[in-house]
Structure 1
Amino acid sequence: MAQKKSSHRTAQEKAAAQARREQRQARTLRAREQAEERRKAAKRREQLTRAGMIAAVLALVVGGYFLITSLGSDKPDTAPEGASGNYGMVLGDADAPKSVVVYEDFLCPFCGQLEQTVRDRLDAAVEAGEVKVEFRPLPFLERIDDYSPRSANAFAVVLDASGPEVAKEFHDLLFDNQPSEEGPFPSDDDLVDLAVEAGATESEVRPGIEDMAFEGWVDAAGEAASKAGVNSTPTVLIDGEKATGTTIDQIASEMVD
């Protein structure tokens, strides 16, 4: 009888021990689940905080650009001789079957890539009377360096002093000698040298390049582009519609094919 009672107690103790183990396992599992939930919640908060910070920074950058654009220059926006009414330079037959507009920044590396990719074919199409092209230089990257507005101003000075043919050569030389976005950036003397290489007379372009003679016109060009919904360079319009290509090669093909 004593042995039976002892066996019965042992079975009860084992059952109780098993129950305690199961309870501990259940508590451990719940603790792990709660810890995982806390970890996920903390990660969500971190992601939301990071997203908020990024949005705030973008708002400051975009807002700062438009503030600068809206403030503009205190210089008049007098257009250079030979410029279009849309802050650009038009080349080609006015009755050409295709019209191309290129918004560009002489500091923009993607503009440089497009220029290298399409220049020869575009020049040939313009010469053949197949395409009319308008180049509209912008100061979009002035937040990186003032070379962006300085080069656009220099382009306007050369156009005003020497005409479209020399200005086109100067335009091409600016891209052929395009600096990295990290610098070093060409000086005013460098811009004058390129203008002279393109065919301009130094005495006619140096004062305007050094004094930012068309700074107001350049600022107005940036403001007009922004109002037109242009928020990146290069932006290409073909017969009034934005190019649909997603790569430089595709955009280049749309411009000349």
Structure 2
Amino acid sequence: MSTDSASSPSRKEKREARAAKAAAELEALRKKQARKSILTVAAVVVAIAVIIGGLVWFSVNRSGDDKVTAVEAGSSEHGLVIGPDDAPHKVVIYEDFLCPYCAEFEAATREDLAELAADGKVQVDYRPFVLLSRLGPYSELATSAFAVVQEEAGSEVAKKFHDLLFENQPSESGPFPEAANLVDLAVEAGASEAAVKDRIESLDGKAWADAATRAAADSGVNGTPTILLDGKQFQEGNTMEDIADALVEQIS
């Protein structure tokens, strides 16, 4: 049996090849771990930035609000009122349907405010307007749709639609619901599809949304949620939950 020593690698060459392969694999693993570490650090940095950004935005949204002109609940054409006119307390809430803090405050106060309004202890005036148009078209679309539903189906259905908009609030970065999605929510709230579909899809409530936005600006509102209790801005607390608890406590 003959062998071709020239074509067969020697044991030394095999060892060197295995060592080179092992070194290459080790280097690849090292680079992978390094990339993973970088990504982990980046993710932490992004998370911190989001938290800081949120706190800064919350602070900015509240800054200057002490200059809000005193307004009385039920005094505007651009709101949704629950509770009697002779209630001992009046609450006005300026909100944007895309604002996450508005959604947080809404979730923390909805049931309590509804119960207190039903008991005659408070009148609540929800005043949606367009603040976050720089983030996309959703704020205008949702506020316009709200105006249509309120006009076509009345305040009770509009309040349910209002609540559903916050329950189904999209992220500020999108993707944003289409007009057809808001039509579905309006129907779920109790509106007639035939009455609201074309008007929501054509932004027929835009004039109302524009007027509500101007009215908020004229009153000095530059952040959301802006809350007024008995004509004075209410800011007792450092979080939306704190503010909600303090508000409910004062009007209970």
Question: TM-score, normalised to structure 1's length?
Answer: 0.66
- Paired residue secondary structure (1:106): coil
- Does residue 85 (structure 1) correspond to residue 76 (structure 2)? The answer is yes
Residue of 199, 203, 207 corresponding to 2:194: 203
- How far 1:237 sits from its partner (Å)? 0.5
Q: Counterparts of 1:121-132 in structure 2 under 5 Å?
A: 121-132=112-123
Q: Counterparts of 1:205-220 in structure 2 under 5 Å?
A: 205-220=196-211
Residue number in structure 2 paired with 1:178: 169
Residues 166 and 198, structure 1, Cα contact 8 Å, conserved in 2: yes
Following the alignment from structure 2 to structure 1, what is the Cα–Cα distance between the partners of residues 208 and 105? 25
Residue number in structure 2 paired with 1:194: 185
Report the residue type matching 2:191 in the other structure.
Answer: A
- How far 1:84 sits from its partner (Å)? 5.9
- How far 1:220 sits from its partner (Å)? 1.4
Following the alignment from structure 1 to structure 2, what is the Cα–Cα distance between the partners of residues 138 and 254? 24
- How far 1:249 sits from its partner (Å)? 2.1
Deviates more, 1:172-181 or 1:114-123: 114-123
- How far 1:109 sits from its partner (Å)? 0.4
Following the alignment from structure 1 to structure 2, what is the Cα–Cα distance between the partners of residues 250 and 105? 20
Q: Counterparts of 1:73-152 in structure 2 under 5 Å?
A: 85-152=76-143
Residues 98 and 172, structure 2, Cα contact 8 Å, conserved in 1: yes
Following the alignment from structure 1 to structure 2, what is the Cα–Cα distance between the partners of residues 233 and 127? 25
Report the residue type matching 1:219 in the other structure.
Answer: D
- How far 1:85 sits from its partner (Å)? 2.8
- How far 1:207 sits from its partner (Å)? 1.4
Report the residue type matching 1:242 in the other structure.
Answer: Q
- How far 1:241 sits from its partner (Å)? 0.3
Following the alignment from structure 2 to structure 1, what is the Cα–Cα distance between the partners of residues 186 and 89? 30
Identical aligned residues as a percent: 50
The answer for unaligned runs of 5 or more in structure 2 is: 1-73
Question: 1:196-216: CA deviations, max 9, x gaps?
Answer: 000000000011101111211
Q: Who wins on radius of gyration, i.e. which is larger?
A: 1
Residues 84 and 90, structure 1, Cα contact 8 Å, conserved in 2: no
Residue number in structure 1 paired with 2:220: 229
What RMSD in Å do the two structures reach over aligned CA positions?
1.3
Following the alignment from structure 1 to structure 2, what is the Cα–Cα distance between the partners of residues 199 and 216? 23
Following the alignment from structure 2 to structure 1, what is the Cα–Cα distance between the partners of residues 246 and 128? 20
Residues 144 and 181, structure 1, Cα contact 8 Å, conserved in 2: yes
Residue number in structure 1 paired with 2:248: 256
- How far 1:86 sits from its partner (Å)? 4.1
Report the residue type matching 1:247 in the other structure.
Answer: T
Following the alignment from structure 1 to structure 2, what is the Cα–Cα distance between the partners of residues 164 and 157? 11
Report the residue type matching 1:156 in the other structure.
Answer: A
Following the alignment from structure 2 to structure 1, what is the Cα–Cα distance between the partners of residues 134 and 171? 14
Residues 82 and 114, structure 2, Cα contact 8 Å, conserved in 1: no
Deviates more, 1:215-224 or 1:144-153: 215-224
Following the alignment from structure 1 to structure 2, what is the Cα–Cα distance between the partners of residues 211 and 84? 28
- Does residue 156 (structure 1) correspond to residue 172 (structure 2)? The answer is no
Residues 106 and 137, structure 1, Cα contact 8 Å, conserved in 2: yes
Following the alignment from structure 2 to structure 1, what is the Cα–Cα distance between the partners of residues 127 and 95? 6
Question: TM-score, normalised to structure 2's length?
Answer: 0.67
Report the residue type matching 1:249 in the other structure.
Answer: E
The answer for unaligned runs of 5 or more in structure 1 is: 1-82
Number of residues of Structure 1 aligned to a counterpart in Structure 2: 175
